[in-house]
Amino acid sequence: MRAIKLTNGNLLIPKRAEGPGRLIGDGAIEVGPDSPEYEAWLPFATEPPGVEIGRRIRTERRRRGWTMKELATKTGLSFTTISRLENGPKAYRYGGRCPNLWTMRRIAQAFEMNLEELAGSDYLL
């Protein structure tokens, strides 16, 4: 079991955890630093999956010396999509936007990589 760090500093923890918190979606509670569960779950907190994928895309794009606009042109995706993928934590409250496989495939093809090289094996599970 794990918790997810939110960009507002709170954690998203499994619903069965007891204590004060606000229900978010199905099966999770958002807790803040003032909650007793916060300290208990903090060691198990990870970033949302879209955050790491966005970092990988940005790192590879910069390694090749491409701008976001150049990557957008090579993939057929919009500049806005590339920007949101790379800067997800700033654009989405609950962390990075996690691209679908079609989008990841287009980006991987532009980089001449396979999906696992670009996204990592955790994303493809």
pLDDT in tens, 70-92: 999 999 999 988 988 887 655 44
Angle between helices 68-75 and 101-110 (to 10 degrees): 110
> Does the predicted model carry a pTM greater than 0.85?
no
The CB density around residue 35, as the number of other CB atoms within 10 Å, is 19
| Distance of alpha carbon 7 from alpha carbon 63, whole angstroms | 27
Q: What is the pLDDT of residue 94?
A: 43
For 44-64, how does the pLDDT look when each residue is reduced to its tens digit (9 = 90+)? 777 766 677 888 899 999 999
Q: Do residues 96 and 58 make contact, with C-beta atoms less than 8 angstroms apart?
A: no
pLDDT of residue 93: 44
Q: What sign has the CA pseudo-torsion 59, 61, 65, 67? A: negative
Q: What is the pLDDT of residue 97?
A: 54
Four-CA torsion 96, 87, 67, 53, nearest 10 degrees: -30
| Distance in angstroms (rounded) separating the CA atoms of residues 88 and 54 | 7
**Can you give the residue ranges of every domain in the chain?**
3-46, 49-124
HSE of 102, CA atoms in CB hemisphere, 13 A: 3
CATH number of 49-124: 1.10.260.40
- What's the average model confidence in pLDDT over 9-21? 65
Q: What is the mean predicted confidence (pLDDT) over 27-52?
A: 79
